[in-house]
Amino acid sequence: MAVKLLSTQTAALETAGSSMILSVSPDGILECLYWGSRIHRAEDFLGETSDCQTVNVDNLQKVREECSSYGSKHFRETSMKIRFADGTDDFRYTVQMMTVGTDPNELEVVLQDIHFPVTVHLYYRVYEEADVIEKWRKIENGGKDPVHLERFFSGEFTLPGEGYQSINYNGRWAKEFHMYSEPVDSGAKVYESFYGLTGHNTNPIFIIHQDAREDHGEVWYGALEWSGNFKTIVEPVNTGFLSVMTGISDSNAAVTLHEGESFTTPPVYAGYAQNGFGEMTRKMHRFADDILAPAEKRKEALPVLYNSWYATTFDVSAGAQIQLAEKAAELGVELFVVDDGWFVGRKDDTAGLGDWSVDLEKFPKGLRELTDRVHALGMKFGLWIEPEMVNCISSLYQKHPDWVYHYQSRRILEQRHQYELNMSDPEVVDYLTDTFDCLLSENDIDYIKWDMNRYQAERGTDTYCPEKWERFEIDNTYGIYRLIQRLREKHPEVEFEACASGGGRVDYGALRWFDEYWPSDNSDPIDRLAIQEAYSFLYPIRYMRAWYTQDEGMNHRLVPMDFSMHVAMTGALGIGIDLNRISEKEEKDLAGYIREYKQIRDTVQLGDLYRLSSFRNSPVQALEYVSRDRKDAVLFAFCLHERYGEELHTVRLSGLDPDKPYAFEIDGKRIAKTGEYLMKRGIDLRLRGDYASALVKIHADDH
């Protein structure tokens, strides 16, 4: 059983490979006695409490709390802050109840304030096979007086001892997932978004380890299901443990609960891996793909996409798009996407956002002519939209200037000439639902690229309403979720991609509602190898759109097609070049790569990823994907520059069945070896000159 009540006060949450033991301390504090590799006799924890230290400090600083709340004698970061009507700001509780839910995988612990009629429900759900524990909270006001929630994180985690490192990112646009692993020995480390969305800088995940590597060392990790401002705090507490807490950011958000009202936090999904980052990755990829991803497209590999943005930018027209579509179809593309520029008034980025009807100057016969042609060519049709945004020059803004966030006393701040619609306003969300429902119903559209190209800068409206304004951050994100949820319900067959100036919306909140991400506008293959590697730590490959581009790339660098294509083929392949500017030979080569990709994409997108080596510490970056039945594997290897005449590199594989014979071809030569040989001895690859790459397809050899 996944949740075991060991007594009325102690519970064990058990997944296939981990245990978390929760218990009420003698002082009545809910604490985490243990989180780590699976404990087979959880009963041993009965009678144990963490109150065994000898240092002369108050108990509240020693206990590894599950729900610490500001005040009392905490003197450190806490995961909750509640202000009661009389100004009291510490929530002191008794544990009222610890019970297994109607679902045997769920545990609920109810904390009741000792004076005010306010309860905090801590919920836990165990995904036994996936090795994931989900936490979320509900705060309820049962009294007449309002209660002010000033911090309301989703979950808190603690690990005993010192010497931990924390992994997160310090990126920006075109440099998403710039990864750091830093010691957390003193002072709280805060990872936070102030952008109004997840953003390009840090990410709402946590990865904690003590010198772990790809294939060894313990790792504790988690991901928050939230696409708005978040805050994660990692703090070494001076009484000997590490505290990690995450949730909606409280920097610019608060919630007032009136009588009978409650607030439920978004969930955080947490896991433990005994054998390094690779194990963590494979567990979370499976969990995300199999359990969290929208059910309609789950377990389906994404089609090969062509996007005309780099070819045309805003200069789209029916004729030119049809011409591109014809070329794309010849290459074997399966989904043809028209990016920005198709709607009325959109000649550049200064106008048009908000007016989501087709520009009849560019498409005199409407979109139909193009969609019919694309479908006749055997491809799906996709379109770019940016629902949350409006340009000042648009009829939507002229009609509803009150729908954008603004302060009455100030000029509205623009980014890319655009304003942000107030998605917390149900009227705005209803309007957008109708607009896009109409667009999808009237046109034959199979895919939507949902973009978001500005950061939040002001959260105000015509009338100041403190309680509403304090919640804008939160309700805005829920407004976005409501819109995508409704569109998905009405159009379940449509594939949705989450983009925000590249990878600004890569998070587990978007993962729940979208089928894929655009991880970065940077498609330079060298940068992409780093971005994609760090992305892949906790985000699935099937969600990772990766395009082949050429000189449109970031660093004015021309990289040979085979290297660039191989990089794009390590994810969900897309083509982004101007097909009018390529030679016949390039066309032929591209078609060959696309054909090859279709043979391997199920393994790449739906298999298990092994990061065999990385440019971070090796001249060769090697990635291996293994199908879940271990019958197929795909190996990619990249070397930027041959040096010291060393052209031969041995790569040892992983994840194969040691007893199974496998076969593959290298340089036209067929080789057959057992999984054991391939994993212990490895394959020799010749990576010669600059920008060398290799792709090896390995199959179980049943002959």
Known catalytic residues are 451, 521
Stretch that binds ligand GLA, among 290-298, 368-376, 473-481, 497-505 (CB under 6 A): 497-505
Task: Kindly indicate which of the ranges 96-104, 498-506, 545-553, 687-695 contains the residues binding ligand GLA, using the contact rule CB under 6 A.
Answer: 498-506
Q: At what angle do helices 584-606 and 561-569 cross, to 10 degrees?
A: 30
Interface residue with ligand GLA, options 131, 214, 339, 355 (CB under 6 A): 339
Residue closer to ligand GLA, measured from CB, 286 or 545: 545
- DSSP code at position 415: B
Query: Which range of residues in 71-79, 210-218, 495-503, 591-599 is near ligand GLA by CB under 6 A?
Result: 495-503
Residues numbered 292-331 forming contacts with ligand GLA, rule: CB under 6 A: 309
Sign of CA dihedral 366, 367, 372, 373: positive
Q: Considering only residues 384, 481, 625, 677, which one is a binding residue for ligand GLA as defined by CB under 6 A?
A: 384
Using the contact rule CB under 6 A, the part of the chain among 2-10, 262-270, 289-297, 494-502 near ligand GLA is: 494-502
Q: How far is the CB of 309 from ligand GLA (least distance, A)?
A: 5
CB of 339 to ligand GLA, least distance (A): 5
Least distance (Å) between residue 94 CB and ligand GLA: 51
Comparing C-alpha atoms, which of 137, 127, 104 is closest to residue 5? 104
Distance between CA 396 and CA 61 in Å, rounded?
Answer: 54
By beta-carbon proximity to ligand GLA, the closer residue of 262 and 313 is 313
Q: Is 292 helix (H, G, I), strand (E, B) or coil?
A: helix
DSSP for 81-136 reads EEE-TTS-----EEEEEEEE-SSTTEEEEEEEESSSSEEEEEEEEEETTTTEEEEE
CB of residue 352 vs ligand GLA: minimum separation in angstroms? Answer: 11
The smaller minimum CB distance to ligand GLA, of residues 201 and 501, is found at: 501
Please tell me the distance from the alpha carbon of residue 700 to that of residue 703, in angstroms, as a whole number: 9
- Least distance in angstroms from the C-beta of 272 to ligand GLA: 35
**Residue 284 or 499: which CB sits closer to ligand GLA?**
499
Inter-residue contact 487 to 437 (CB < 8 Å) = yes
Cβ nearer to ligand GLA, comparing 207 with 302: 302
Minimum CB separation of residue 515 from ligand GLA in Å reads 16
Report in angstroms the alpha-carbon separations of 513 from 177, 431, 553, 694.
21, 20, 29, 35
Q: Specify the 3-state DSSP secondary structure of 583.
A: coil
582: three-class secondary structure by DSSP: coil
- For the bound state, the minimum distance from the C-beta of residue 559 to ligand GLA, rounded and expressed in Å, comes to 20
Q: Of the candidates 113, 214, 250, 340, which one interacts with ligand GLA according to CB under 6 A? A: 340
- 479 touches ligand GLA (CB under 6 A): no
Query: Minimum distance between the CB of residue 521 and ligand GLA, rounded to whole angstroms?
Result: 5
Q: Which residues on neighbouring strands pair with residue 106, listed in sequence order? A: 125
502 part of the interface to ligand GLA, by CB under 6 A = yes
Residues in region 414-473 near ligand GLA by CB under 6 A: 451, 453
* Backbone region of residue 163 per phi and psi (left: phi > 0; alpha: psi in -120 to 50; beta: other values): left
Residue nearest to ligand GLA (CB): 340
Token pair belonging to 105: 């995988």
How many chain residues interact with ligand GLA (CB under 6 A)? 10
Minimum distance of ligand GLA from residue 89's CB (angstroms): 42
At residue 28, φ and ψ (nearest 5 deg) are 85, 20
Number of residues assigned to the chain? 703
Neighbours of 173 (CB within 10 A): 17
- Measured from the CB atom, the residue of 206 and 342 that comes closer to ligand GLA is 342
**Contact with ligand GLA (CB under 6 A) among 292, 421, 499, 623:** 499
Residue 502 or 525 having the CB closest to ligand GLA: 502
Judged by beta carbon, residue 521 or residue 642, the one nearer ligand GLA is 521
Q: Which secondary structure element, helix H or strand E, spans residue 166, and what is its range?
A: strand 165-169
Identify the residue among 261, 521, 647, 701 touching ligand GLA (CB under 6 A).
521
201: its two tokens: 């800088």
174 binds ligand GLA (CB under 6 A): no
Instruction: Give the chain's radius of gyration (CA, Å).
Output: 27
Residue 516 near residue 542, CB atoms below 8 Å: yes
CA gap 144, 671 in Å, rounded? 76
Token representation of residue 434: 């109708």
Site for ligand GLA in 605-624 (CB under 6 A): none
The residue range among 183-191, 496-504, 508-516, 593-601 that interacts with ligand GLA, by the rule CB under 6 A, is: 496-504
Query: Which two three-digit tokens encode residue 179?
Result: 């990864």
Q: Measured from the CB of residue 672, what is the shortest distance to ligand GLA in angstroms? A: 44
- Could you tell me which stretch among 499-507, 528-536, 628-636, 690-698 binds ligand GLA (CB under 6 A)? 499-507
Q: What is the nearest approach in angstroms of ligand GLA to the Cβ of residue 434?
A: 24
236 versus 382: smaller Cβ distance to ligand GLA:
382
Burial class of residue 26 (count of CB atoms within 10 Å of its CB; 0-12, 13-18, 19+): exposed
* Local structure of 666: helix, strand or coil: strand
Nearer to ligand GLA, 152 or 535 (CB): 535
Please return the burial class of 614, using the count of CB atoms within 10 Å of its CB with bins 0-12, 13-18 and 19+: middle
Among 394, 501, 549, 550, binds ligand GLA (CB under 6 A): 501
Residue 382: C-alpha distances to residues 13, 202, 334, 440 (Å): 44, 30, 11, 10
Contact positions with ligand GLA (CB under 6 A) in 79-98: none
Q: CA-CA distances (angstroms) from residue 249 to 171, 276, 453, 465, 612?
A: 19, 29, 21, 20, 36
Give 227 or 693: the residue with its C-beta nearer to ligand GLA: 227
Distances (CA, A) of 46 to 66, 105, 238: 18, 21, 26
Q: Does 553 contact ligand GLA by CB under 6 A? A: no
User: Residues in the site for ligand GLA, rule: CB under 6 A?
Assistant: 309, 339-340, 384, 451, 453, 499, 501-502, 521
